[in-house]
Structure 1
Amino acid sequence: MIKYAPLLAAVILTGCGAGKIADSFDTRQNAGPCPPVGALYDSSRYVEFDGGGELYSNIEFTGEIIDVRLFCRYVEDNPLEAEVEIDFAFGKGPAADSNAHTYPYYVAVTRRNGKVLAKKYFNTEGNFGGQNLTGKTEVIGTIEIPRVDESISGTNFEVVVGFELTQEQLEFNRAGKRFRMDAGQ
């Protein structure tokens, strides 16, 4: 395990891009399955209050990671290259004073045991245009995971996404609390 550490430390996450990764590679069959991908439950929701307490009337903005998809490609002993698509839903609450909000989020590559190999931070913009609800899909262009040899499958890794939260937001989520701007509609 120690001898592979430098190689695993070389995991690279690069910025947002466009286009499906499957479109840019040859047609040989993958060496194995893609890594599992998903949103971390504790950080899949975002609620920002105006400081007046955890009441509906004090909500400025909400966000939720709705879906995450991963497309990958690797053959022989080549590195695993993947693209991640993340679907977001955003809400503007009664205490919001703007028609736009920046939502920080992360994408991490982990070993199946949970050890983080690489983590990169991004921002996505929720533009409400006078409405209370909006959404968008973000594409993370290239994730490269080096493999020691062709016997290392994508299932040895996981790709995890979530909002970058304050300690208070994380505690709110862990307590099972939530507000959805579309509740009752």
Structure 2
Amino acid sequence: MGLNGAPQASTAAYACPKVNIVRDLQEVTQFRNGGGRDLTDVTSRAALADFSGHCDYADDGVTVNVNLYLVAERGPALQGNEATYRYFVAVSKPGEEAPTTKSEFETTVTFEAGKARSGSREELAPRIPLPKDANAKDWKIFLGFQLTPEQLAFNRAQMKQ
């Protein structure tokens, strides 16, 4: 029995870790090789538009089931009808900014003939090992594109405009 004679819940309600899309790493612009860096040299652009999910607790930890939504746009310099993007999922312990684990993934988006936009839904399931009855609410999960230094500098320059 719980306090005041009320029935005690058999399992405590545990919160999911906080999931964030990293602002500087939310978009990627890809340019053709050897070209300039203006709009006519763009092969494609993509953004991590949104995510949804839930978590499942077990005796040995928590699995965070995340659906990550990626939206892509064909650029004028794209050859063919596909673009490939690298993104990551990083997990940080409570009170720490540096990730404990980081996994990278690659996805290819196909643009249908005559369509400038496309997208994908990526299903991710990062796992956090925890002792029984531990709560993962203070853990953090970060999502973002795996960018080159040049792509990151481009994003930051765009944000300042």
As a proportion of its length, which structure holds more strand?
A: 2
Name which one, 1 or 2, has greater alpha-carbon Rg: 2
Picking from 101, 114, 118, the partner of 1:134 is 118
List per-residue Cα deviations over 1:133-152 (Å, max 9, x = no partner): 11111111x322111342x3
Maintained 8 Å contact 1:37/1:70: no
Match of 1:97 among 68, 79, 82: 79
Structure 2: runs of 5 or more not aligned:
1-9
- 2:88 pairs with 1:109: no
SS in 2 for 1:171: helix
Q: Distance in 2 between matches of 1:30 and 1:56?
A: 53
- Matched with 1:122 is 105
Q: Which residue of 2 aligns with 1:7?
A: none
Are 1:64 and 1:89, in contact at CA under 8 Å, matched by a contact in 2? yes
The residue identity in structure 2 corresponding to 1:100 is: E
Q: 1:172 to 1:95 in 2, by over 3 A?
A: same
Kindly report the root-mean-square deviation, in angstroms, between the aligned alpha carbons of the 2 structures. Answer: 2.0
1:53: how far off?
2.8
1:32 is matched with 14
Query: By how many angstroms is 1:30 displaced?
Result: 5.6
Aligned pairs for 1:1-185 (under 5 A) are 31-50=13-32, 51-74=34-57, 77-112=59-94, 113-130=96-113, 131-140=115-124, 142-150=125-133, 152-177=134-159
- Percent of aligned pairs with the same amino acid: 29
Work out the CA distance in 2 between the residues paired with 1:30 and 1:62.
Answer: 44
Deviations 1:44-71 (A, max 9, x none): 1010112433311111110000002231
| Residues 26 and 145, structure 2, Cα contact 8 Å, conserved in 1 | yes
* Superposed displacement of residue 115, structure 1: 2.2
* Deviation per residue, 1:21-79 (Å, 9 max, x gap): xxxxxxx756411001121111110101124333111111100000022310226x541
Spell out, residue by residue over 1:148-168, the C-alpha distance to the aligned partner (whole angstroms, 9 max, x if none).
342x32222111111111110
**Distance in 2 between the 1:33 and 1:162 partners?**
23
SS in 2 for 1:65: strand
Contact 1:31 1:74 in 2 (8 A): no
Output the TM-score relative to the length of structure 2.
0.83
> Counterparts of 2:12 and 2:120 in 1: how far apart (Å)?
30
Kindly state the Cα deviation for residue 177 of structure 1 after the two structures are TM-superposed: 4.7
Distance (whole Å) between structure 2 residues aligned to residue 176 and residue 33 of structure 1: 36
The alpha-carbon distance between structure 1 residues 165 and 118, as it changes in their structure 2 partners (threshold 3 A), is same
